[in-house]
Amino acid sequence: MFCPYHVGIINPFFAAKSDLQLNYYARSCPNAEEIIKQQVIKLYHKHGNTAVSWVRNLFHDCIVKSCDASLLLETVNGIESEQKSERSFGMRNFKYVKTIKEALEAECPMTVSCADIVSLSARDGIVLLGGPRIAMKTGRKDSKGSYLWEVENSIPNHNDSIQSVLSRFQSIGIDAQGTVALLGAHSVGRVHCVNLVHRLYPTVDPTLDPDYAKYLKVRCPSPDPNPEAVLYSRNDRETPMIIDNMYYKNLLKHKGLLMIDQQLTSDPITSTFVEKMAADNGYFHDQFARAVMLLSENNPLTGDEGEIRKDCRYVNSD
């Protein structure tokens, strides 16, 4: 039986400058990373889609200002949750972050940050999804507020041009190769019909494989789907719960679900990387590990810049 934790550690090629360090909790909470890993595994076996949620949480949290768990804050006491943004449409399983946090609080009260839970749960979720093991640093602190007003400008939209997406990632230190690799996370999970139908109706996008378009129309039969209805298509029909290079192989067959996916094959900067990743899963995993690590180290709060929340949903009361 395949055990994803036997995968060797990928050593990313370079590290972002920060005060983060490997094994930050070695003295203050020696079992912290093992507790998170075991909780992630337990949740995965109960609810497989939690692993996908952890990866998406990392992206949505870290690309908005800082990797500081601002995403997890709920709307209360003057704080407007980032989860209210349209960019957060379809995100779920936030309630299980509380499960992980409670296990840590039982062992080491007020020691492990929610921001590190976001990063480490993503790291461990990636392994469960067949992706690379990433040497991830810790020591992030939690924000004392949310940045709802920055979400729209920070998180690329699925209809954005490839140039604007590359520019956005470049602004946080992730190059074109890394951006193409990060989009490979679209090899798992699903896309809601709300984000698909503009490629199907009133006419089918000519860059979409005609047979694939027919299948998608079965999945999304209405040009005006109800956002409350869970109508969706899997990102990858062949290996829907494995982070692998099937995503890039599908792009080369004109089977990208989102506009941003398919644009990767038509842009001269990104198309070369698509072809290389489609041909070599190991190369994709190396680049994915490097990009995830860089994303996880975006502008972290350290020292006295933030706090350790007792409950990831709320800032601490003074």
DSSP 134-200: E---B--BB-SS--HHHHHHHSPPTTS-HHHHHHHHHTTT--HHHHHHHGGGGGSSEEEGGGTGGGT
- What is the rounded distance in angstroms from the CA atom of residue 91 to the CA atom of residue 192? 11
- Three state DSSP letters for 86-131: HHHCCCCCCHHHHHHHHHHHHHCCCCCCHHHHHHHHHHHHHHHCCC
Q: Would you call 186 a catalytic residue per the annotation?
A: no
Name the 3-class secondary structure at 9. Answer: strand
- What is the rounded distance in angstroms from the CA atom of residue 169 to the CA atom of residue 167? 6
Burial 19-48 (b: 16+ CB within 10 A, else e): ebeeebbeeebeebbebbbebbbebbeeee
- What is the rounded distance in angstroms from the CA atom of residue 173 to the CA atom of residue 209? 34
Residue closest to 146 by CA, chosen among 314, 299, 310: 314
The distance from CA 68 to its chain's CA centroid, rounded to whole angstroms, is 14
Write down the catalytic residue from 60, 192, 198, 254: 60
Q: Is 137 exposed, middle or buried (0-12, 13-18, 19+ CB in 10 A)?
A: buried
Known catalytic residues are 60
